[in-house]
């Protein structure tokens, strides 16, 4: 930038426009202390009040005016800020009526306060018959936002039309600031004789920082006659008179010249302030002097305040809809990333959706040394590496995401790169391993029409450069390059959720690997320590057990087989004796005979169970494909009468086809289902559930009932041979059913266990290996 221009811009920005030491001539300004003594006054008091300024100074306000009760109340509130106003630096919006003790005329008074002084602005009362009802105006303004789906610009135009009817200004426009404080006219109404400015842009230097600060403090700025002659202040105070809140404050000569060059004779600027930030201005222009009464100015200020609230609410609603879409998109992707076992692949597959959420044109992901590119991404790896190094430096100092819509302003890079990536949004996932997500937006060449050439002219004034307001407002078009459309990201919630999901997945994977590694190391150490000792013992035990097991198998089979015949003879002859001697035996002798019959029957059942148990160990059954649905149907058919008699309800999942020993599997289901039917709870309808879960290397089955249940202390005992928890009188059986079940499950490389609670029911679980 030219040195003189830079210095002139700085001088303009440093102009103390809040301390002009003069006012506009359509009113009188009095500077009072807290006791209402007049310290300073504008020199035009004689023309407006009929009192010489010299006669006012050092006198009490009450020497010249009677004030109404609201005026006194306003002063009392100021003098007791803890009970009234919270700050001693503000503007009251109350219009007071002052009665002159000199000529008995009435005047309007507006009070504004600074830390040490009170500013009283006095204007002659003007009868304004055109003042509309403020409540109706406010209601219509609010309704214009709430009962329409129109664009903001259209709504603003409708409200400008109403404001024009109130003020009679020839041209009204909404001047909206961008992020660099340049302005754009986004809405306009005008009479035909005044030039159109809709769509034109104006540089930030047209309204320098200190002017924007004043517009933020004071909602309204009225100049009834641009060609006014400033009226100086007379008198002295210890501190300069800050006129930030004064409506009579004189304006900068540069601003007067700017308005003159534009052909404007009267103005009124109404601030639009959203969340304490100057959003824009309503600029009212007229081609002849035009005075607004204090009442109309207060009404315009209220319209500006309501309009600010409504624009803020409108934008919040629009932003909320966008934010909800963004948050929803990020949340869906984050949930997938949190649950996946293949993090990088899932992140890569989500690339296009991540671009859509942020309206990006490309994305570059780097995770654990792997990277992916989606969309329109700068193609040269070496230039991407330059960007990556820049981002590493940035994230070394900052934790928040890096966002720019004009990369070439912060990083020297080629035009080819800027075409595809002038806009960058970068999220650091992990500084430790250099993991990033980087979104790109391609360059958007924008044609902007300025209200006159934005370049400022500079003249030397007493050896100091000074800006000259431009004389022409003819359209001036320029092309803006190197920038993208702005990123629309209302908050960082979505990005934070995405980052947290990725980090959580990485952490879980890391912890699992560490835990597994520790477990393996401990297990290996322990096994290595005992391996040599156990190896010798096992070899000896294998030989011994093989011999003992074979002997036991033979003994059990031979014993049970040989006992069959004598037991059959006892049973046969006992029954024969019972039939022949039935009529000659007494009751006592018949009971004895029945004891013998029952005993032989129990003995026969026990021998049958022993034979069955021994066959499991002696006979080799071949594996085959077994449809458990068909098998279970056969088992249910065996228990059909019992199921009918007990009115049992049985729920069965779809069962798989397994590779196993069909006869033994049928016996397994038969024993477990038989137990469920046998050990039912009296007075409670029996419900049995048969389910299955598919594990990676096995099938896990469950047979659940709501029967009498089992105490935890017997969980292991019930699988031992001949172990019973109930008497034979209560429940028939020999205590071998679950032992057989355990044996069958072991032959299918599985395990069997029980979970139960007395009085609630039992759940028997067993697994069958898929590799049998």
Domains 520-619 and 620-769 share a fold: no
C-beta of residue 480 within 8 angstroms of C-beta of residue 446: yes
**Is the torsion defined by CA of 720, 723, 724, 729 positive or negative?**
positive
- Contact indicator for 426, 409 with CB cutoff of 8 Å: no
State residue 291's pLDDT score: 94
| pLDDT surpassing 80 at residue 577 | no
Do 171 and 194 form a contact (C-beta atoms < 8 A)?
yes
User: Cα–Cα distance between 275 and 273 in angstroms, integer?
Assistant: 7
Place of tokens 């990725």: 502
Q: Is the dihedral of CA 733, 735, 740, 745 positive or negative?
A: positive
Closest CA to 771 of 740, 748, 747: 748
Please state at what angle helix 294-339 crosses helix 493-580, rounded to 10 degrees: 40
| Interval 601-616 mean pLDDT | 59
Contacts of 105 (CB under 8 A, 6+ apart): 99, 124
As a whole number, mean pLDDT of residues 565-591 equals 70
Structure tokens given for 7: 């210095």
In the chain, count of helices (H) and strands (E)?
Answer: 19, 31
As its CATH architecture, domain 342-443 has: 2-Layer Sandwich (3.30)
pLDDT tens-digit series, residues 445-481: 766 666 666 666 656 666 666 556 666 566 666 667 7
Angle CA(345)–CA(349)–CA(352) in degrees, nearest 5? 150
Q: Which residues pair with 424 in a beta bridge?
A: 404, 440
**Alpha-carbon distance values, 613 to 315, 568, 601, 617, 636 (Å):** 81, 20, 18, 7, 23
Residue range 721-739: mean pLDDT, rounded: 63
CB 468 within 8 A of CB 457: yes
pLDDT of residue 551: 46
Q: Do 666 and 631 touch, CB atoms closer than 8 A?
A: yes
- pLDDT for 325 equals 83
**Chain mean pLDDT for the chain:** 81
Q: Give the separation between CA 286 and CA 616, rounded to whole angstroms.
A: 110
Express each pLDDT in 381-439 by its tens digit.
Answer: 999 999 999 999 998 888 889 999 888 888 888 888 888 888 899 999 888 778 899 99
CA–CA gap between residue 195 and residue 263 (Å, rounded): 9
> How confident is the model over 199-218, as pLDDT tens digits?
888 888 888 899 999 999 98
Q: Is the pTM of this model over 0.95?
A: no
Task: Please enumerate in sequence order all residues whose Cβ is within 8 A of that of 763, keeping only pairs 6 or more positions apart, or say none.
Answer: 702, 703, 704, 705, 754, 755, 756
Q: Determine contact, residues 429/502, Cβ cutoff 8 Å.
A: yes
In angstroms, the Cα distances linking 771 to 478, 660, 697, 741 are: 76, 10, 7, 19
Pairwise CA distance, residues 658 & 21, whole Å = 100
> Which is the CATH superfamily of the domain at 6-128+137-230+244-319?
GAF domain (3.30.450.40)
Q: Hey, where are the domains in the chain?
A: 6-128+137-230+244-319, 342-443, 520-619, 620-769
**Architecture (CATH level 2) of domain 620-769:** 2-Layer Sandwich (3.30)
Which CATH fold topology does 520-619 show? Helix Hairpins (1.10.287)
Rounded distance between C-alpha atoms, residue 204 and residue 177, angstroms: 8
DSSP single-letter state for residue 250? -
Q: Is residue 42 pLDDT above 90, yes or no?
A: yes
| Cα separation values, 62 from 28, 35, 452, Å | 16, 11, 52
Query: Residue 508 belongs to what H/E stretch?
Result: helix 493-580
Length of the chain: 772
DSSP assignment of 23-64 equals: E-TTSEEEEE-TT-BEEEEETTHHHHHS--HHHHTTSBGGGT
Both tokens of 547, joined, read 């011999």
pLDDT digits (tens, 9 = 90+) for 671-707: 899 889 988 888 899 999 999 999 989 999 999 999 9
Q: What is the pLDDT of residue 446?
A: 64
């Amino acid at each position: 930038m030219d040195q003189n221009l830079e210095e002139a811009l700085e001088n303009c920005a440093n102009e103390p426009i809040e301390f002009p030491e003069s006012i506009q001539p359509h009113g009188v300004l009095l500077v009072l202390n807290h006791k209402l003594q007049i310290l300073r006054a504008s020199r035009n008091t004689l023309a407006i009040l009929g009192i010489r300024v010299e006669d006012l100074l050092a006198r009490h306000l009450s020497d010249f005016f009677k004030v109404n009760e609201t005026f006194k109340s306003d002063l009392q509130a100021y003098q007791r800020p803890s009970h009234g106003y919270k700050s001693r630096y503000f503007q009251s919006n109350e219009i007071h009526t002052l009665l002159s003790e000199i000529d008995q005329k009435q005047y309007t008074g507006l009070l504004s306060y600074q830390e040490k002084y009170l500013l009283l602005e006095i204007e002659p009362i003007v009868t304004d018959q055109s003042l509309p009802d403020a409540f109706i105006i406010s209601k219509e303004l609010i309704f214009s936002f709430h009962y329409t789906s129109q664009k903001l610009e259209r709504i603003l135009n409708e409200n400008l039309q109403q404001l024009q009817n109130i003020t009679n200004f020839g041209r009204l426009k909404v001047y909206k600031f961008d992020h660099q404080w340049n302005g754009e006219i986004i809405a306009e109404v005008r009479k035909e004789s005044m030039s159109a400015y809709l769509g034109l842009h104006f540089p930030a230097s047209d309204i320098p920082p200190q002017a924007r600060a004043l517009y933020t403090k004071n909602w309204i700025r009225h100049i009834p006659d641009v060609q006014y002659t400033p009226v100086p202040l007379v008198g002295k105070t210890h501190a300069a008179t800050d006129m930030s809140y004064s409506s009579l404050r004189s304006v900068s000569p540069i601003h007067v010249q700017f308005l003159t060059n534009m052909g404007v004779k009267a103005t009124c600027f109404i601030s639009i302030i959203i969340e304490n930030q100057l959003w824009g201005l309503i600029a009212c222009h007229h081609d002849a002097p035009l005075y607004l009464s204090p009442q109309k100015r207060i009404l315009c200020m209220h319209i500006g305040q309501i309009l600010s609230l409504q624009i803020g609410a409108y934008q919040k609603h629009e932003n909320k809809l966008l934010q909800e879409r963004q948050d929803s998109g990020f949340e869906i992707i984050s949930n997938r990333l949190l649950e996946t076992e293949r993090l990088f692949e899932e992140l890569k597959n989500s690339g296009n959706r991540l671009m859509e959420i942020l309206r990006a044109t490309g994305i570059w992901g780097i995770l654990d040394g792997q990277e992916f590119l989606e969309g329109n991404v700068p193609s040269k790896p070496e230039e991407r590496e330059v960007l990556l190094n820049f981002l590493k430096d940035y994230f070394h100092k900052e934790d928040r995401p890096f966002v720019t819509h004009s990369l070439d302003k912060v990083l020297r890079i080629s035009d080819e790169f800027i075409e595809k990536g002038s806009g960058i949004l970068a999220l650091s996932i992990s500084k430790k391993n250099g993991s990033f997500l980087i979104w790109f937006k391609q360059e958007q060449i924008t044609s902007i029409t300025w209200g006159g050439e934005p370049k400022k002219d500079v003249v030397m004034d007493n050896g100091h450069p000074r800006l000259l307001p431009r004389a022409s407002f003819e359209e001036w078009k320029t092309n803006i390059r190197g920038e993208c459309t702005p990123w629309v990201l209302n908050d960082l919630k979505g990005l934070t959720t995405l980052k947290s999901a990725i980090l959580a997945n990485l952490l879980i994977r890391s912890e699992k690997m560490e835990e597994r590694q520790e477990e393996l190391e401990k297990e290996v150490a322990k096994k290595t320590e005992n391996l040599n000792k156990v190896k010798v013992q096992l070899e000896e035990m294998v030989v011994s057990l093989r011999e003992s097991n074979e002997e036991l198998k033979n003994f059990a089979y031979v014993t049970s087989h040989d006992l069959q015949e004598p037991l059959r003879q006892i049973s046969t002859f006992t029954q024969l004796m019972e039939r022949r001697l039935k009529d000659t035996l007494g009751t006592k002798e018949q009971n004895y005979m029945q004891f013998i019959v029952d005993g032989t029957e129990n003995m026969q059942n026990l021998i049958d169970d022993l034979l069955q148990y021994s066959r499991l160990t002696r006979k080799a059954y071949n594996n085959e494909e077994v449809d458990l649905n068909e098998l279970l149907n056969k088992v249910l058919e065996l228990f059909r009468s019992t199921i009918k008699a007990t009115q049992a309800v049985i729920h069965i999942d779809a069962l798989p086809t397994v590779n196993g020993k069909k006869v033994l599997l049928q016996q397994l289901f038969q024993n477990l289902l038989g137990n469920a039917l046998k050990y039912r709870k009296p007075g409670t309808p029996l419900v049995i559930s048969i389910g299955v879960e598919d594990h990676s290397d096995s099938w896990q089955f469950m047979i659940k009932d709501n029967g009498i249940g089992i105490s935890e202390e017997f969980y292991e005992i019930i699988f031992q041979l001949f172990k019973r928890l109930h008497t034979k009188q209560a429940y028939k059986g020999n205590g071998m059913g679950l032992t057989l079940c355990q044996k069958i499950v072991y032959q299918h490389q599985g395990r069997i266990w029980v979970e139960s609670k007395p009085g609630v029911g039992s759940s028997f679980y067993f697994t069958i290996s898929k590799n049998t």
